[in-house]
Amino acid sequence: MACAATAGLLLTSCSTVEQSDSGASAESDYANEAAQKVVDRALAEFEPTDFPTSSPAAAEDKTLVIVSCYQAAAGCARISAGALEAAEAIGWKAKVVDGQGDPNLQNSALEQAITEKADAVLLAAVEYPVVASTVERVRKAGIHVVSVGTTGEASEDGVEYFSTAPGEKIGEVMAAWVTLATAGNGNIGYFSDRSFAASDAYETGFRDGIKQYCENCSEAFTTSFSATEIGTTLPARVKGSLQSHPDVNMVYAAYDGAVGAMVPAMHEISSTAPLVGFDGNLQSLDFIREGNTQVATMATALEWAAWGGVDALNRLLNGEEPVPSTPAYRLLTKDNLPPDGQSYTGDTDYRAAYRELWQAG
């Protein structure tokens, strides 16, 4: 299994070779200057270029309702935890309501925010289209709404600000890395969940990047799933798809929240295909560190994005427009992981920076 999980393999075989920083096989003469340039930049520490430099005062005596897409999904839980932490830092009362992947529950949570006369709502990876009409009622009640971890068009009567990393760019970076790791001959099995705007953007960017960088890469299959199926039907689909396509030499996971169910399923069928994912959740970083199937992730500092969402709400509560700020993202392999036990939260102390802004305001 350790042999199967090393990015520095000739991925059609099971012989361990020395791994380069890019993940390309040291046994291969393959070179791709364009892909290498993208990968080298993405492996380096993230340097924010649009972080706010000023802020209004922290709005006082405010209540925040955080509506989570699905607390059982690590990405949603990370955003919720970051928003709770930021709310405490700015001095607000806050609570998390678990939407459990159910649009009915997510809409009910928004209705409850109206009943409770909350001041603000933060959507944690809740897809806007499924709650749009309820959000309009929330806005008519004078409650400000931002979304973290999804994309969309901000509006006065809907979600007023979206805090997220550039999904298509993130997908493109992973495509460049896969191109190098497979020496330009990837046969990729896709496990796809395009119901989330973020994961849809990842996959769009990845597929476009494969076309751009990897002329000889191919698609072995695409198996679709949803977040609520991760603990139920996804493992069986993983086993069935990979058993039907034993020549796959790279597995694409829509997001790291699914990987915890995928890796044991791959063990059961002795699959030797390495896997890549997105978000940089703690479990996936452990898999990469241990050499256990997953070999890379495009990590996003989801907690940072949540703090950015709270900052946007504070500006709105002060009658100002939100200031766009991109949360950190970085390509992580075994060579540049954060310390054991820590998920990827960025390469600068954004918490201290936001606290200083809010106090200075």
Residue 360 is predicted with a pLDDT of 64
Angle, helices 350-360/302-317, rounded to nearest 10 degrees: 10
Residue 28 is predicted with a pLDDT of 67
Structure tokens of 291? 């050499």
Indicate the pLDDT class of residue 23, thresholds 50, 70 and 90: very low
Q: With beta carbons less than 8 A apart as the criterion, state whether 54 and 212 touch.
A: no
**Where does the chain have alpha helices with state H?**
33-43, 74-90, 103-115, 132-140, 167-181, 197-213, 234-244, 259-268, 282-290, 302-317, 350-360
Residue 195 is predicted with a pLDDT of 87
Question: Is the pLDDT reported for residue 19 higher than 60?
Answer: no
Structure tokens of 217? 């890469």
pLDDT tens-digit map of 229-278: 999 999 999 999 999 999 999 999 999 999 999 999 999 999 999 999 99
| Pairwise pLDDT comparison (65 vs 151), residue with the higher score | 65
Alpha-carbon distance of 354 to 86, in angstroms, equals 9
Model pTM score: 0.87
